[in-house]
Amino acid sequence: MKLLVTRPEPGATATAQRLTLAGHSPVILSCLTISHLSPRFPEQIGALLVTSGQAIPALPPRLHTVPTFCVGDATAAKLREAGFLSVESASGTADDLRRLVSARRLRGLHVLATGSRLGLQLLADLRNAGLTATRRVVYRPRPIRLLPPAIKTTLEQGGFEGALFYSAETARAFAALHPPGTAALSAYALSPAIAKSLQLLPWRDIRVALAPTEADMMALLT
């Protein structure tokens, strides 16, 4: 199938390579650009929470020994590659991460490293669970403003069979581009929350991965 990959880099290229190996024809349309920030982190941290691999480049080396929890297995692998020594994955959603961290009941300050405008509900849920928690914005996603002409033309001509979405913010950014021809496409969503954001546009159908992993997303394409 000819598929649009809407996630930002560096994930977009990795996904496109996997799709190519599986026999598909991916076209990258990164609907968000990522700017990394350098916030100040507290000196004493009991646990570090990461909701996206996009946060990793902004995390200082001194945090490598802090117990670290993340949403998914792919992010866990990236954290270990970056030098983090104690990493545990919730293998699911932000709710799964909250349940995992609440069950561990580690002492000290829990720091949520996330993107701008993201993580506020998770932070509130952690505090409601009785944890001492704060948030640091380590990256800023910005939506692109225009569809590339070649991709717009291909959409108008019905040249794509589907589009892959890895975050609700990406889905909203794609919808804001007012893409033509989506009623002829299948949308593939990593989670139900992303599928809800995709309802801003007409689709042939919206398919949701059984679990929020790329392997389950790819399984939808067979």
pLDDT digits (tens, 9 = 90+) for 7-48: 998 889 999 999 999 999 999 999 999 999 999 999 999 999
Residues 81-117: pLDDT tens digits? 999 999 999 988 889 999 999 999 899 999 999 999 8
pLDDT score of 117: 87
Q: Which residue bears the tokens 């998770």?
A: 122
CA distance 141 to 143: 7
Joined together, the tokens standing for residue 68 give 């670290």
Flag whether pLDDT at 204 surpasses 90. Answer: yes
pLDDT score of 133: 96
* Bond prior to 10 in cis (omega within 30° of 0): yes
Flag whether pLDDT at 213 surpasses 90. Answer: no
The pairing of beta strand 25-28 with beta strand 32-36? unpaired
CA distance 55 to 52: 6
pLDDT score of 161: 96
What is this structure's pTM? 0.83
CA distance 4 to 192: 19
Flag whether pLDDT at 55 surpasses 90. Answer: yes
CA distance 220 to 161: 13
Joined together, the tokens standing for residue 93 give 């959603």
pLDDT band at 222 (very low <50, low <70, confident <90, very high): confident
pLDDT band at 74 (very low <50, low <70, confident <90, very high): confident
H or E element: which one contains 27? Answer: strand 25-28
∠ CA 47-52-56, rounded to 5°: 70
Residue 68's nearest CA partner among 54, 115, 57, 51 is 51
Q: Which domains does the chain have, with CATH numbers?
A: 2-31+144-219 (3.40.50.10090), 35-141 (3.40.50.10090)
Torsion over CA: 153, 157, 160, 164 (sign): positive
pLDDT score of 175: 95
pLDDT score of 89: 95
Helices (H) and strands (E) in the chain, counts: 8, 11
